[in-house]
């Protein structure tokens, strides 16, 4: 899987005007490829014939500079199937465009976009798996989340959930017998789904050449909990909000809730009071700290072995964050604290005590970080292990749609908090952290430094909240009891989750539940880049690279 360096796109500003994108210019660029236009809430979308998808995508990528395919959504209507490619620019994610590909209900065949965007590979496999659209010239169109032998496509209409299923467990030959892949003297080894280094239930089909990784293929779906189906069954106002907590369950719950809140609020045109925005910003950053600390702790397990001091220290500090969040939300992990149009309740009384507790944590943090830097980033053995291993070049990272600390560790300066501002971020003083190392070490370092930035944000929020006038503490705006967005409105909105761009696509059909609810998980895209990082490296580096990707299987599989 070598990757020839893609031509640097020179026309990144096609159709870019002062006020935003001029879609007419883009349409004329695409010319006859466009057969229709749709208006989504976030951007215009061009409808393209199913056999011209690759052409349209490559024009948009090469000539208009849309280098980030953030998501591929597939869905079934009464009369047709549809895939939507949500395209963005890494330089400016507010410039978005959709490519809508309708296919017939009887023969859902569509051209694959995986030749243009490498990341489309897995997204299309997922679309095939769950909805049932087939992609022509897809390199490897197999089921990705469900077992190979599954019957039916669960998110398509008329799927029978009561149907019996048979799931095989293939045993692999032991090492002393023949179990070679590719006929050479390599050894095939299953890492996972139960393995101490896979951070959950990931299965890596690894081919080893001695100690070196010749080939690695991730097999996911061991935690596919039907999150999309469940969200499609829930009502907008209350029944969906508890679930985002469980996508990225590493205490990053509020960041996920924000992703849903942002999409649904934009869809139904709900305002959020400023006071609630500040609370959201503060609590979300607390979650980010907790999440990054866990990433550090588990990375330490991967590289240090068993339950080392760093792991324990990271958990010690996480306990503090979780206590603060528990004071605020009433739960340690599954907060369910955001509401559409605000948050569930105000800061806990007495407020001074809450502020004091948060400040104590922030005051302690620099010392703690110093300790981590001494133990981790300053440790020579760790540097020996992690510098220049698991290389992910920025161009490759973009191809795979990597976002978050993984992309920022490769020098891709992409952070939705700054580039596509929401909440209170644009009025606070903080920096986006990037590192140019592209290696395991950079990714860990980015997370450590982001903790500092988050602390800065929290500090400013606490100050703001403390001085906020008492009669202006509105925590929720007025939201109709039963929320029914206009029929056939579509939106794709993303926030910067703990692991990267966490996007939600919602299509409403006029009822109080979404007709299609699609989650764009950052881990899903990030994990896809693992082979690029690990092939040719040693087994320990594979494990370290996986650790530095910081995946959460709940979010990968959803």
C-alpha–C-alpha distance, residues 56 and 65, integer Å: 13
CB 472 within 8 A of CB 279: no
For another protein, which residue of 230, 362, 475, 515 counts as binding (CB under 8 A)? 230
Instruction: Give 160 or 470: the residue with its C-beta nearer to another protein.
Output: 160
Binding-site size, another protein (CB under 8 A): 85
For another protein, which residue of 189, 214, 362, 432 counts as binding (CB under 8 A)? 189
Closest separation in Å from C-beta 242 to another protein: 7
316 interacts with another protein by CB under 8 A: yes
3-class DSSP assignment, residue 321: helix
Query: Tokens standing for 263?
Result: 């999409």
For another protein, which residue of 91, 109, 115, 193 counts as binding (CB under 8 A)? 193
Instruction: Give 323 or 463: the residue with its C-beta nearer to another protein.
Output: 323
Stretch that binds another protein, among 19-27, 196-204, 453-461, 523-531 (CB under 8 A): 196-204
C-alpha–C-alpha distance, residues 406 and 412, integer Å: 9
x-or-dash string of contact with another protein, 57-96, rule CB under 8 A: ----------------------------------------
C-alpha–C-alpha distance, residues 451 and 291, integer Å: 10
User: Which residues lie below 8 Å from residue 309, measured CB to CB, with a gap of 6+?
Assistant: 375
Residue with structure tokens 């496999």?
125
What is the DSSP code (8-state) at residue 476? B
Segment 435 to 474, residues that bind another protein, using CB under 8 A: none
307 interacts with another protein by CB under 8 A: yes
∠ CA 327-328-330 to the nearest 5 degrees? Answer: 70
Closest separation in Å from C-beta 556 to another protein: 11
Stretch that binds another protein, among 97-105, 146-154, 343-351, 392-400 (CB under 8 A): 146-154
Closest separation in Å from C-beta 544 to another protein: 9
Stretch that binds another protein, among 24-32, 379-387, 409-417, 518-526 (CB under 8 A): 379-387
Instruction: Give 122 or 425: the residue with its C-beta nearer to another protein.
Output: 122
What is the DSSP code (8-state) at residue 427? G
Segment 246 to 285, residues that bind another protein, using CB under 8 A: 246, 249-251
Segment 198 to 217, residues that bind another protein, using CB under 8 A: 199-201, 211
For another protein, which residue of 178, 381, 469, 481 counts as binding (CB under 8 A)? 381
CB 551 within 8 A of CB 222: no
Pairing assessment for the beta strands 16-17 and 203-209 based on DSSP bridges: unpaired
224 interacts with another protein by CB under 8 A: yes
C-alpha–C-alpha distance, residues 173 and 179, integer Å: 6
Closest separation in Å from C-beta 533 to another protein: 15
Is residue 195 classed exposed, middle or buried when 0-12, 13-18 and 19+ CB atoms within 10 A define those classes?
A: middle
370 interacts with another protein by CB under 8 A: no
3-class DSSP assignment, residue 440: helix
Helices (H), 63-112: none
For another protein, which residue of 313, 372, 400, 425 counts as binding (CB under 8 A)? 313
Stretch that binds another protein, among 6-14, 93-101, 161-169, 432-440 (CB under 8 A): 161-169
301 interacts with another protein by CB under 8 A: yes
For another protein, which residue of 37, 225, 351, 456 counts as binding (CB under 8 A)? 225
For another protein, which residue of 174, 184, 367, 478 counts as binding (CB under 8 A)? 174
Segment 387 to 406, residues that bind another protein, using CB under 8 A: none
CB 73 within 8 A of CB 515: no
Cis peptide before 193 (omega within 30 of 0): yes
356 interacts with another protein by CB under 8 A: no
Task: List the strands of the sheet with 514-520, edge to edge.
Answer: 489-496, 501-508, 514-520
Neighbouring-strand partners of residue 205: 190, 217
C-alpha–C-alpha distance, residues 286 and 513, integer Å: 30
CB 501 within 8 A of CB 406: no
C-alpha–C-alpha distance, residues 505 and 520, integer Å: 8
For another protein, which residue of 543, 545, 549, 556 counts as binding (CB under 8 A)? 543
Stretch that binds another protein, among 76-84, 318-326, 415-423, 503-511 (CB under 8 A): 318-326
Segment 322 to 341, residues that bind another protein, using CB under 8 A: 322, 332-334
For another protein, which residue of 312, 330, 421, 463 counts as binding (CB under 8 A)? 312
Segment 503 to 542, residues that bind another protein, using CB under 8 A: 538-541
C-alpha–C-alpha distance, residues 408 and 397, integer Å: 10
Distance between the two ends of the chain, CA-based, in angstroms? 27
Stretch that binds another protein, among 174-182, 278-286, 390-398, 436-444 (CB under 8 A): 174-182
12 interacts with another protein by CB under 8 A: no
Among candidate residues 305, 211, 310, 289, the one with its CA nearest the CA of residue 544: 305
196 interacts with another protein by CB under 8 A: yes
């Amino acid at each position: 899987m070598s990757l020839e360096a893609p031509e640097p796109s020179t026309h990144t500003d096609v159709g870019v005007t002062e006020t935003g994108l001029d879609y007419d210019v883009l349409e004329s660029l695409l010319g006859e490829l466009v057969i229709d236009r749709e208006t989504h809430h976030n951007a215009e979308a061009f409808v393209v014939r199913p056999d011209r998808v690759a052409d349209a995508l490559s024009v948009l990528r090469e000539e208009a500079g849309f280098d980030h395919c953030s998501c591929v959504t597939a869905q079934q209507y009464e009369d047709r199937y549809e895939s939507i490619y949500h395209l963005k620019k890494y330089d400016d994610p507010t410039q978005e465009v959709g490519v809508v590909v309708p296919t017939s209900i009887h023969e859902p065949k569509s051209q694959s976009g995986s030749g243009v965007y490498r990341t489309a590979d897995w997204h299309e496999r997922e679309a095939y798996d769950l909805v049932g659209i087939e992609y022509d010239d897809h390199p490897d169109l197999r089921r990705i989340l469900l077992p190979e032998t599954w019957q039916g496509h669960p998110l398509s209409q008329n799927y029978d959930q009561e149907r019996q299923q048979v799931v095989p467990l293939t045993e692999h030959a032991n090492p002393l017998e023949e179990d070679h892949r590719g006929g050479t003297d390599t050894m095939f080894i299953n890492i996972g789904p139960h393995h101490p280094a896979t951070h959950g239930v990931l299965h890596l089909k690894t081919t080893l050449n001695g100690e070196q990784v010749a080939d690695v293929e991730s097999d996911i779906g061991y935690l596919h909990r039907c999150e999309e189906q469940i969200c499609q069954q829930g009502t907008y106002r209350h029944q969906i909000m508890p679930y985002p907590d469980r996508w990225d369950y590493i205490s990053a719950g509020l960041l996920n809730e924000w992703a849903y809140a942002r999409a649904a609020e934009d869809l139904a045109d709900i305002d959020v009071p400023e006071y609630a925005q500040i609370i959201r910003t503060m609590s979300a950053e607390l979650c980010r700290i907790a999440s990054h600390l866990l990433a550090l702790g588990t990375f330490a397990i991967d590289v240090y072995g068993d339950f080392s001091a760093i792991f324990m220290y990271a958990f010690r500090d996480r306990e503090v964050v979780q206590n603060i969040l528990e004071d605020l939300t009433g739960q340690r992990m599954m907060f369910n604290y955001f509401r559409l149009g605000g948050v569930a309740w105000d800061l806990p009384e007495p407020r001074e005590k809450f502020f004091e507790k948060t400040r104590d944590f922030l005051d302690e943090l620099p010392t703690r970080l110093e300790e981590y830097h001494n133990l981790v980033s300053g440790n020579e053995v760790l540097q020996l292990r992690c510098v220049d291993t698991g290389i992910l070049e920025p161009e490759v990272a973009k191809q795979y749609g990597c976002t978050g600390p993984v992309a920022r560790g490769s020098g891709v300066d992409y952070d939705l908090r700054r580039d596509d501002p929401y909440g209170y971020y644009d009025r606070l003083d903080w920096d986006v952290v990037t590192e140019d190392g592209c290696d395991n070490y950079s990714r860990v370092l980015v997370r450590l430094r982001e903790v500092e930035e988050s602390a800065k944000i929290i500090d400013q929020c606490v100050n703001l909240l403390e001085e906020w006038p008492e009669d202006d503490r509105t925590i929720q705006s007025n939201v109709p009891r039963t929320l029914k967005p206009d029929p056939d409105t579509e939106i794709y909105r993303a926030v910067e989750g703990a692991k990267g761009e966490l996007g939600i696509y919602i299509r409403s059909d006029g009822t109080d539940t979404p007709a299609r609810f699609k989650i764009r998980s950052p881990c899903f895209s990030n994990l896809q880049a693992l082979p690029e990082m690990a092939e040719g490296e040693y087994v320990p580096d594979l494990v370290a690279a996986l650790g530095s990707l910081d995946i959460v299987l709940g979010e990968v599989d959803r």
